[in-house]
Amino acid sequence: MTGATAASAASPDGTLAAPDLRPRQNAPAMPGVVIVGAQWGDEGKGKVVDLLAERATTIVRFQGGNNAGHTIVRDGEEFKFHLIPSGILHEEKTSVIGNGVVVDPRVLLGEIDNLKRAGISVGNLRLSANAHLIMPYHVLLDSAGETKLGKNSIGTTRRGIGPCYADKALRLGIRVQDLLDEKILRTKIRAALEPKQQALRELSVQRRKRLKEAGEDAKPIEESVQVPDPRLDLHAMVEEHVSFGHRLEPHIADTARLCWEALDGGETVIFEGAQATLLDLDHGTYPFVTSSNPIAGEACVGAGIGPKDIDEVWGIAKAYATRVGAGPFPTELFDDVGEQMLQRGHEFGTTTGRRRRCGWMDLIALRYAVRLNRMDALAITKLDVLSGIGPLRVAVRYRSKEGAVLDTFPYHQSILHSAEPEYEELPGFDLDLTSCRSASDLPQEARDYLGFIADFVGVPVRLVGVGPDREQVIWLED
């Protein structure tokens, strides 16, 4: 082993301090901390954000929408969020939904209502006036598009994410600020709605044809063209969205300015990514990706800050790997070990309830994520899930179909699709880790496992998760 490892980072007496993210005295104001997923999502970012948020005044989400799902367990109580930043449980802090997020107003209002019912104040929730809205037609288009793709589908969450970002790029999007002016709202929805009605009609006709050919649908094709879908009625849509606007108005703000004020005042601001690096629209496993950029660079665009506002980047990775939806996953397991990870890790989606695909930790992919995000530190979550699963394996290179050794993440889709992982085998551990609270409580094999990861990817592991509760963590010194 070379360089700093998590194991060697543990001080001999096992006393480990949480990293101090507080603004330094007389230090230049640069306390922007970005937290991103380092794999295919569901790494447990919510819990890490919740923990690091203790030292911040402001927590900002910068991309994605309600395709994400964060679960935070606090004192045994479980909170699930899709849109609201994980920092919301710190009521005195400002929680921001940035301009880069796509917002389904119905979902957001539902989350606000749930929090209020649980007695949690949402008085400090701020919503960017520039964020785009997921409209009912986006959700319909996402579903119809996936159905059309059939066995080639992406496996999206069908929450309208892709069609909403597409409208944003087409300049046909409806923004949060539009909710506050009925006339503008009506004009914009009318312009956006017409092509969607056409597209949906066409998709519906094609579907009927396909079903008919397969002998599955007796209804006449014309029916789908003639019956107007009540969910696409302009008048009703405008009315409903005006009322959403009334309810959201107290939260709508110039959120980029809010971030600047906090950063310039020397406060710590956490920028919370959703999804993860390998689902990035530009750098992930395209086309099996989401429609936004979940990497650290996007914090600038999606929140409205400059690159120099970012002081620290944390990547969150599970101690193994999971993926939902279709797309390449070189270390995927189809055996008992994968099943054990699924069951013990409760690997079912927070948003869709889908079974997650499980596999070994892929260090080629993780090293790629570390560099792409220029990470300073890693948090490794769910280490406890691996106890009793020994020996442990980590992918350290791939081999191409032609037999070439690949020690970097292949940019070419076909190469990645057929890449075979080659593993390093490391000793496993049987101890139940859920009550470990310091590095010295961990068995040597677990420390070596973390050390191997840190060495391979070149950044320290600074936080380890050993259970779902926020107390079930181990801080490691850099």
List of residues contacting ligand IMP (CB under 6 A): 41-42, 67-69, 154-157, 159, 161-162, 274-275, 279, 288, 290-291, 324-325
Least spacing, CB of residue 417 vs ligand IMP, in Å: 15
Phi/psi for 13 (5° steps) reads: -85, 0
CB atoms within 10 A of CB 209: 12
Least spacing, CB of residue 477 vs ligand IMP, in Å: 30
Q: In the complex with ligand IMP, which residue's Cβ is closer, 351 or 387?
A: 351
- For residue 318, the SS3 value is strand
Q: In the complex with ligand IMP, which residue's Cβ is closer, 262 or 296?
A: 296
Cβ neighbors of 445 (< 8 A, separation 6 or more) are 390, 426, 427, 428, 429
Q: Which of 33, 263, 251 is nearest to 124 (CA)?
A: 251
Least spacing, CB of residue 430 vs ligand IMP, in Å: 30
Least spacing, CB of residue 468 vs ligand IMP, in Å: 17
Least spacing, CB of residue 288 vs ligand IMP, in Å: 6
Cβ burial, residue 121 (10 Å; 0-12/13-18/19+): exposed
Q: In the complex with ligand IMP, which residue's Cβ is closer, 290 or 293?
A: 290
Cβ neighbors of 160 (< 8 A, separation 6 or more) are 65, 102, 104, 134, 135, 138, 139, 140, 141, 142
Residue nearest to ligand IMP (CB): 325
Least spacing, CB of residue 152 vs ligand IMP, in Å: 13
Catalytic annotation, pick one of 50, 70, 82, 376: 70
Q: In the complex with ligand IMP, which residue's Cβ is closer, 333 or 392?
A: 333
DSSP class of residue 397 equals E
70 has catalytic annotation: yes
Q: In the complex with ligand IMP, which residue's Cβ is closer, 179 or 316?
A: 316
CA distances (Å), 349 to each of 70, 71, 157, 359, in order? 10, 10, 10, 16
Catalytic annotation, pick one of 42, 167, 362, 384: 42
DSSP class of residue 379 equals E
Q: Which of 448, 333, 313, 427 is nearest to 377 (CA)?
A: 313
Strands (E), 341-418: 357-359, 361-362, 377-381, 392-399, 405-406
DSSP per-residue letters across 69-136: -EEEEETTEEEEESSS-GGGGSTTSEEEE-TTBEE-HHHHHHHHHHHHHTT---TTEEEETTPEEPPH
Structure-token match 């890790």, residue found:
345
Cβ burial, residue 318 (10 Å; 0-12/13-18/19+): buried
Q: In the complex with ligand IMP, which residue's Cβ is closer, 67 or 94?
A: 67
Q: In the complex with ligand IMP, which residue's Cβ is closer, 81 or 429?
A: 81
Least spacing, CB of residue 65 vs ligand IMP, in Å: 8
Active site residues: 42, 70
